[in-house]
Chains A and B, each alone.
Chain A
């Protein structure tokens, strides 16, 4: 990259008055933004502030309603991701688009505008992976890789195009702390080469550590620029939310010993080559209790969730018991009728159908449990009743949306997350099983969701929280168990749990091997 005098002074990317209107909603309202060469620029904001919308316009995945984009001083119209790539803009989406059955190299080739032979691409990918400290085997099948490794494929595939601006939309929400550290090293190398990075994240600590400048959005408008190094996480959060972030209040509920969710000797063979098999899972959640399941993604959490929710049945009815009923042979509807509620990790496509409205998505998980209210004779749907329930959920969880009853896909990620959690909480379930409750949710909303989980437990329900976010688990759980390689450790009571102890278990240490730690009492 030649950076002659005046070229360096001029910003790499300059955005003036960029707006995007969805119907009546101004998702982005006349945004001005400047990205200099060789900086890591943070884009911050609450859920629904318009961050993803803005970067999608920069990457040609959405068409702006108004405004101009200047690239190296030239006004450009970016009409497709292909054009963005040709200009030198690369993007790593939060949700990867990789094919499990293909190798890393083959996946990379698929994204190239001008196809090249596999061997050449593999060689180039190896070169890049060495240069940027992104260990990767081009011949590995994507299905066998961890989320962190998959992200590396996405990054390398983006680097192959030699981009000058790299956009990362919430890259660390799926990574372990160790993987995130590696990613930061790579980003710093990229910056030192004079490349620019636009970085979206809800994790303010890492923004402080990594980024040179920050732009904060609220309600589609730029509300401020700042130097994150001079701010605290709390002051950045205040700027995003426009007020203080609530603190989760947790007072010890009266301990009862009524077991509401029990799993005994759960084994599950991997259903497909890329799944993890579960072995001898044991867990009990009592009324009033929150049990956390920590672990690096891809260690069987998804499989555990499916087994408990009844999307996958067990061989024996007693393997899973819900509120005292043997549930192992009941499907998800049967388990819901026993009093359980479920929130899977993937909100779009699993928890909610993308092209159905919120009202229809409410019906999706509650047509049986609330049949008396929602359905008339002959299974006729009482639309007005369902719609008012959806409205109640939106109000309770402060779901921000552009129209009265939008399709799920038109909601920002965090707002949809609030809705799918609120949909289950609205039932006041006796047992709640939730996987990654605050994935991609802003600080204020995350606090609200956690508070809601705590309140549910306080009301006498049993809550099982599967999460990668240790801070979250430490904040709300009574005990934490760790999932590794399809096995679940014995739960560590929160009073005895430390980050080190849990971290070791996450890394695969057998509880016996971590001798010297007070853990042994519970084994």
Chain B
């Protein structure tokens, strides 16, 4: 008995659209089974996980805090993925953006003026974009695999941050804790509505970025170029578009937005640099980009859903006593089900009864 994937003659337009919802539904079912296996009441656990965090104003603010970096990164990635460039290193660009933006408040704490914050944001964008340009140039010039180079640069960025925070940038008045000094008031991204909760301007930037990119992708020549080169490189070349320039462009956009997310997170939510400033936003954003169908508006919705898994993880830990790793499990399941649904839209599963004795090895090579 072996399983084969047979290409479907036609894919259903209806199911392509429904696929993210089916995937979410399946995730809930699998999650319930998981809770049951852990000996928890699945109804209660799911309630604390997915509904409870939406009840109170302050926790809605928390949702926006979590969603801001996720959406910012994911809309940038959607440009990359649409143009068939695979930037897997947004996590690293997030970190370098955060560090570049932190130069002013950490190294020049006495420079206090209203220009500090805009400069920090610009430096954050520049830092993320510059870091993303490394795999981009390597791909455009030497045809290296951007998947590997961008991913490996994540670890470089993480270790660099760790070293800086423990070494040169450590807070001189911080009792040797691995942290930088806390940012002064001019270097702090303000809250949107301080009276009711923590949500900062990063969330507004995320919505703006999604709107702008949605417009660019659907209405302008640039968006046409991005989609054309991604779908059909040869036709793109015939149209007179350059693949190399697109590699650079898409990495700069996604790196810049990841960098902006980084500096917003540090200056809006955390208030200082620490050895770890992201619970894997850069990787979760990949899931969001696909769950949102690489459509910037879809990504806003998907970003909110995934932000909920982070919050729910925390809530479930407190109320039901689940490990905080459950959030990771949920994110993994969502990605798994999204990819599975997408595969089944294109392929049908066929069970082949007769044992393929002959040349089993050859099949493995193929």
Known: A61-B9, A62-B10, A117-B362. A380 touches B219 (CB 8 A): yes
Contact of B235 (CB < 8 Å), options: A63, A110, A349, A367: A349
- Total interface residues in chain B, CB < 8 Å: 27
**Cβ proximity bits A320-359 to B, threshold 8 Å, 1 near / 0 not:** 0000000000011100100000101010011111111000
Q: Is the CB of A115 within 8 A of B237?
A: no
Interface residues of B in 307-366 (CB under 8 A from A): 350, 356, 358-359, 362-363, 366
Q: Is the CB of A114 within 8 A of B232?
A: no
Q: Is A363 an interface residue (CB 8 A)?
A: yes
Given A351-B235, A353-B235, 9 additional A-B pairs, CB 8 A: A110-B366, A114-B358, A115-B363, A309-B238, A350-B235, A354-B232, A355-B232, A356-B227, A367-B239
**Cβ proximity bits B172-184 to A, threshold 8 Å, 1 near / 0 not:** 0000000000000
Q: Is B3 an interface residue (CB 8 A)?
A: no
Give the docked Cα–Cα distance between A61 and B6 (Å): 11
Q: Which residue of A lies closest to B229 (CB)?
A: A353
A522: min CB distance to chain B, Å: 34
What are 10 A-B pairs with beta-carbon distances under 8 A?
Answer: A62-B10, A80-B7, A80-B350, A333-B240, A354-B231, A356-B232, A364-B238, A375-B221, A379-B221, A381-B220
Q: Is B283 an interface residue (CB 8 A)?
A: no
B240: min CB distance to chain A, Å: 3
- The 4 A-B residue pairs with the shortest CB-CB distance, nearest first, are A333-B240, A115-B362, A353-B232, A115-B359
Question: What residues of chain B lie closer than 8 Å to A116, measured between beta carbons?
Answer: 358-359, 362
Q: Is the CB of B231 within 8 A of A353?
A: yes
Question: What residues of chain A lie closer than 8 Å to B231, measured between beta carbons?
Answer: 353-356
Q: Is the CB of A115 within 8 A of B10?
A: no
Give the docked Cα–Cα distance between A378 and B216 (Å): 10
Contact of A62 (CB < 8 Å), options: B9, B227, B237, B366: B9
Give the docked Cα–Cα distance between A453 and B328 (Å): 63
Q: Is the CB of B221 within 8 A of A367?
A: yes
Q: Which residue of A lies closest to B358 (CB)?
A: A114
Give the docked Cα–Cα distance between A333 and B227 (Å): 18
Give the docked Cα–Cα distance between A363 and B350 (Å): 41
Q: Is A143 an interface residue (CB 8 A)?
A: no
Q: Which residue of A lies closest to B222 (CB)?
A: A379
A385: min CB distance to chain B, Å: 13
Q: Is the CB of B224 within 8 A of A350?
A: no
A123: min CB distance to chain B, Å: 15
Which of A110, A115, A352, A375 has the most chain B CB atoms closer than 10 A to its own CB?
A: A115
Give the docked Cα–Cα distance between A355 and B227 (Å): 10
Q: Is B228 an interface residue (CB 8 A)?
A: yes
Q: Is A109 an interface residue (CB 8 A)?
A: yes
Question: What residues of chain A lie closer than 8 Å to B239, measured between beta carbons?
Answer: 332, 364-365, 367
Give the docked Cα–Cα distance between A289 and B222 (Å): 38
Q: Is the CB of A349 within 8 A of B234?
A: yes
Q: Which residue of B lies closest to A337 (CB)?
A: B240
A523: min CB distance to chain B, Å: 35
Q: Is the CB of A311 within 8 A of B238?
A: yes
**Cβ proximity bits A28-39 to B, threshold 8 Å, 1 near / 0 not:** 000000000000
The A interface, classified by DSSP as helix, strand, loop or mixed, is loop
Question: What residues of chain B lie closer than 8 Å to A363, measured between beta carbons?
Answer: 221, 224
**Cβ proximity bits A484-518 to B, threshold 8 Å, 1 near / 0 not:** 00000000000000000000000000000000000
Give the docked Cα–Cα distance between A375 and B220 (Å): 8
Interface residues of A in 373-408 (CB under 8 A from B): 375, 378-381
Interface residues of A in 266-301 (CB under 8 A from B): none
Q: Which residue of B lies closest to A336 (CB)?
A: B240
B87: min CB distance to chain A, Å: 23
Q: Is A11 an interface residue (CB 8 A)?
A: no
Question: What residues of chain B lie closer than 8 Å to A110, measured between beta carbons?
Answer: 366
Give B contacts to A, CB under 8 Å: 6-7, 9-10, 219-222, 224, 227-228, 231-232, 234-240, 350, 356, 358-359, 362-363, 366
Give the docked Cα–Cα distance between A80 and B352 (Å): 13
B219: min CB distance to chain A, Å: 5
Question: What residues of chain B lie closer than 8 Å to A360, measured between beta carbons?
Answer: 224, 228
Give the docked Cα–Cα distance between A458 and B170 (Å): 79
A211: min CB distance to chain B, Å: 28
Q: Is the CB of B359 within 8 A of A381?
A: no
Question: What residues of chain B lie closer than 8 Å to A309, measured between beta carbons?
Answer: 238
Q: Is A368 an interface residue (CB 8 A)?
A: yes
Give the docked Cα–Cα distance between A378 and B9 (Å): 40
Question: What residues of chain A lie closer than 8 Å to B350, measured between beta carbons?
Answer: 80
Q: Is A444 an interface residue (CB 8 A)?
A: no
Q: Is the CB of A352 within 8 A of B235?
A: yes
Give the docked Cα–Cα distance between A336 and B362 (Å): 50
Question: What residues of chain B lie closer than 8 Å to A61, measured between beta carbons?
Answer: 9
Known: A116-B358, A356-B228, A363-B224. A350 touches B234 (CB 8 A): yes
Give the docked Cα–Cα distance between A109 and B239 (Å): 37
B14: min CB distance to chain A, Å: 14
Q: Is A177 an interface residue (CB 8 A)?
A: no
Give the docked Cα–Cα distance between A353 and B226 (Å): 13
Give the docked Cα–Cα distance between A342 and B231 (Å): 21
Question: What residues of chain A lie closer than 8 Å to B234, measured between beta carbons?
Answer: 346, 349-350
Q: Is the CB of A332 within 8 A of B238?
A: yes
B93: min CB distance to chain A, Å: 26
Question: What residues of chain A lie closer than 8 Å to B238, measured between beta carbons?
Answer: 309, 311, 332, 342, 344, 350-351, 364-365
Give the docked Cα–Cα distance between A331 and B7 (Å): 39
Interface residues of A in 110-155 (CB under 8 A from B): 110, 114-117
Contact of A332 (CB < 8 Å), options: B219, B232, B240, B359: B240
Contact of A378 (CB < 8 Å), options: B220, B224, B232, B356: B220
Question: What residues of chain A lie closer than 8 Å to B9, measured between beta carbons?
Answer: 56, 60-63
A184: min CB distance to chain B, Å: 32
Q: Which residue of B lies closest to A63 (CB)?
A: B9
B150: min CB distance to chain A, Å: 27
A505: min CB distance to chain B, Å: 30
Q: Is the CB of A63 within 8 A of B10?
A: yes
Question: What residues of chain A lie closer than 8 Å to B228, measured between beta carbons?
Answer: 353, 356, 360, 364
Question: What residues of chain B lie closer than 8 Å to A355, measured between beta carbons?
Answer: 231-232
Question: What residues of chain A lie closer than 8 Å to B219, measured between beta carbons?
Answer: 380-381
A281: min CB distance to chain B, Å: 21
Q: Is A194 an interface residue (CB 8 A)?
A: no
Give the docked Cα–Cα distance between A499 and B358 (Å): 53
Question: What residues of chain B lie closer than 8 Å to A375, measured between beta carbons?
Answer: 221
Q: Which residue of A lies closest to B360 (CB)?
A: A115
Contact of A114 (CB < 8 Å), options: B224, B236, B237, B356: B356
Give the docked Cα–Cα distance between A62 and B366 (Å): 25
Question: What residues of chain A lie closer than 8 Å to B356, measured between beta carbons?
Answer: 114
Q: Which residue of A lies closest to B365 (CB)?
A: A115
Contact of B358 (CB < 8 Å), options: A82, A115, A379: A115
Question: What residues of chain A lie closer than 8 Å to B358, measured between beta carbons?
Answer: 114-116
Q: Is the CB of A380 within 8 A of B235?
A: no
B238: min CB distance to chain A, Å: 6
Give the docked Cα–Cα distance between A179 and B224 (Å): 42
A124: min CB distance to chain B, Å: 14
B286: min CB distance to chain A, Å: 23
Give the docked Cα–Cα distance between A26 and B87 (Å): 43
Interface residues of A in 52-111 (CB under 8 A from B): 56, 60-63, 79-80, 82, 109-110
Give the docked Cα–Cα distance between A368 and B239 (Å): 9
A422: min CB distance to chain B, Å: 16
**Cβ proximity bits A190-202 to B, threshold 8 Å, 1 near / 0 not:** 0000000000000
Known: A114-B356, A356-B228, A368-B240. A80 touches B6 (CB 8 A): yes
Q: Which residue of A lies closest to B230 (CB)?
A: A353
Question: What residues of chain A lie closer than 8 Å to B6, measured between beta carbons?
Answer: 79-80, 82
Give the docked Cα–Cα distance between A354 and B230 (Å): 12
Give the docked Cα–Cα distance between A109 and B365 (Å): 11
Which of A63, A80, A351, A364 has the most chain B CB atoms closer than 10 A to its own CB?
A: A364
A288: min CB distance to chain B, Å: 27
Contact of A364 (CB < 8 Å), options: B7, B235, B366: B235
Question: What residues of chain A lie closer than 8 Å to B220, measured between beta carbons?
Answer: 378-381
